[in-house]
């Protein structure tokens, strides 16, 4: 079963340790590179046409592959034959779990859009995560998906940026019992979220340079980063 862990004890590579012109985001190679550098990963799952969780961020294939169209319109077998721009192919959640060395945590973000049944998808993802041995958690912007995640799986609530949601009390958007909150960097200093830090760890995303990383370390418990040296990320985020 997926193990509970302290979110503040790790830094997390956003969609793996990818780089422009190098390893592609959400690729197995980028994930394993993060593990080699001793950081956890944040990654995205969404359902294939036959309901299998595959690792892919966008609702459509166009940006990171040479294909077009909705991810949810293709079956698992079709999707895993599609190459990512930069190398490798789309993989399933099961493939990642089989390959992950389990030394650092997995933050699995459930993407819920299109025709996705949020509760059913959360249960499907949870079934796979519960077979994993190692630190792991599930999270989503979708409160229904978070609520449907079994409580014995560590779970987090992603908070939409206030610039998008118009919310005045960001902490109140987490409407179910969770183990941590994750907010956009622009909202990390929000009074409601800072107040919530007294009982829940606060992770911020996406941190893209060391100056922001250092500044945010005083008001967040951990960070999801991209685009710079993971050793520097760990130094600023974890003070190591």
Number of domains in the chain: 1
Taking Cα atoms as reference points, which of 233, 201, 239 lies closest to residue 220? 201
Q: What is the pLDDT of residue 176?
A: 85
Q: What is the pLDDT of residue 28?
A: 98
Residue 204: domain span: 9-238
Q: What is the pLDDT of residues 45-54, one digit of tens each?
A: 999 999 999 9
Taking Cα atoms as reference points, which of 190, 211, 210, 214 lies closest to residue 202? 190
Q: What is the pLDDT of residue 230?
A: 97
**What is the pTM assigned to this prediction?**
0.97
Output the domain CATH number for residue 194.
Answer: 3.20.20.190
Is the residue at 225 inside a domain?
yes
Is the residue at 4 inside a domain?
no
Is the residue at 93 inside a domain?
yes
Cα 44 to Cα 62, 163, 174, 211, 239: the distances in Å are 16, 22, 20, 26, 27
Is the residue at 1 inside a domain?
no
Q: What is the pLDDT of residues 63-102, one digit of tens each?
A: 999 999 999 999 999 999 999 999 999 999 999 999 999 9
């Amino acid at each position: 079963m997926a193990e509970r862990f302290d979110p503040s004890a790790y830094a997390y590579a956003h969609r793996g340790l990818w780089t422009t012109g190098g390893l592609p985001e959400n690729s197995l190679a980028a994930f394993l590179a993060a593990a080699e550098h001793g950081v956890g990963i944040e990654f995205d799952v969404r359902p294939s046409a036959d309901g299998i969780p595959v690792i892919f961020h966008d609702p459509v294939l166009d940006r990171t592959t040479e294909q077009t169209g909705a991810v949810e319109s293709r079956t698992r077998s079709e999707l895993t034959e599609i190459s990512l721009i930069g190398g490798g192919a789309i993989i399933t959640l099961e493939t990642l779990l089989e390959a992950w060395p389990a030394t650092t945590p997995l933050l699995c973000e459930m993407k819920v859009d299109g025709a996705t049944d949020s509760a059913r998808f959360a249960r499907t993802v949870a079934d796979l995560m519960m077979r994993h041995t190692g630190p792991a958690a599930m999270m989503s912007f979708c409160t229904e998906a978070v609520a449907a995640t079994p409580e014995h799986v560590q779970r987090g609530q992603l908070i939409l940026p206030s610039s998008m949601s118009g919310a005045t009390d960001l902490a109140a958007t987490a409407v179910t019992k969770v183990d941590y909150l994750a907010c956009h960097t622009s909202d990390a200093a929000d009074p409601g979220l800072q107040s919530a830090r007294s009982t829940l760890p606060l992770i911020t995303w996406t941190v893209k340079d060391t100056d922001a990383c250092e500044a945010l370390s005083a008001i967040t418990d951990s960070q999801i980063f991209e685009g710079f040296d993971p050793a520097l990320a760990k130094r600023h985020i974890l003070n190591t």
